[in-house]
Each structure stands twice: as structure tokens, then as C-alpha cells.
Copies of this chain bind each other. A is one copy, B any other.
Amino acid sequence: MATTRQGPYFCGIDAAMDVVSGKWKVLILWELHHHGTRRFAELRRGLPGVSEKMLVQHLRELEEDGLVHRKVYAEVPPKVEYRLTEHGVALNTALEPLGTWGTERMRRIGATKVPVAPAPVSRQPS
């Protein structure tokens, strides 16, 4: 269950890669970075294809690693909000050059973007 990872590491990049390895982790960080705060279901919708299990698991690990803060409201129905911690914000900043490089690479190899789930047209909530 990915017990608290704490090295040993070869170097800083190794240590950083450790906390972001997981299929959806950087995307969760990205999502939180751009929305400031997100609820569980919002994250789920923002990450088309993620399963509940993986989303929870990644969120828990990110929380454990001190990158994400989880705020539970004592309400019914339940309400939980996630946001980046100071360290999470710093990580995101450190990831930006990598994002730029990746965008350039996508252009080079002609990679497609993942199809964005079209907002359901019919069936609007009344």
C-alpha cells in the first residue's frame, strides 16, 4: 500500500519523482493548482478515466507526503475539500519547466490530447 516513502534516494530528482509517481498524481496537483480548492467529485470529473479507488489512494498519499490538505466539513451530505499545501504549490512551480518541455515534445511528435469529456448536453439539472 505504498507505505510512507522516505528514501533512500539517489538524488533530489529521485526523491521528487517518488512523490509524483502514480498515474494521476501530477494531474491532481495541476487540477488543484488551477482551481485552488476542489471537492472529491469535482476532481473526479476533472480527471476523466480515474477510478474512485485510484483517486482516493493518490489523494491519501499526496496528503501523507504533505502536498495536499484535506478539509472535512461536518455536514450531511459529506463535504470534503482538497487544496495544495505550501509544499504542494512549490512542487507545482518546480514542475512548470517540465510541463513546458512536455508541451514542446507533444508538438514535436504530434501527440494528441486526451479527449475531453464533453459536457452532457441534455439532462441538465433543473
Contact = CB atoms under 8 A, between A and B. Distances in A.
A97 B103 CA distance: 17
Interface stretch (A54-62, A72-80, A106-114): A106-114
Interface string A87-119: 100110111111111111110111111110000
Q: What copy number does this chain have within its complex?
A: 2
Contact of A98 (B6, B10, B13, B87): B13
Interface string A1-23: 00000111111111111011100
Interface residues of A, number: 43
Contacts of A103: 11-12, 15
B30 A114 contact: no
B94 A101 contact: yes
Interface in A6-45: 6-17, 19-21, 26-27, 30
Contact of A112 (B7, B30, B104): B7
Interface of A: 6-17, 19-21, 26-27, 30, 87, 90-91, 93-106, 108-115
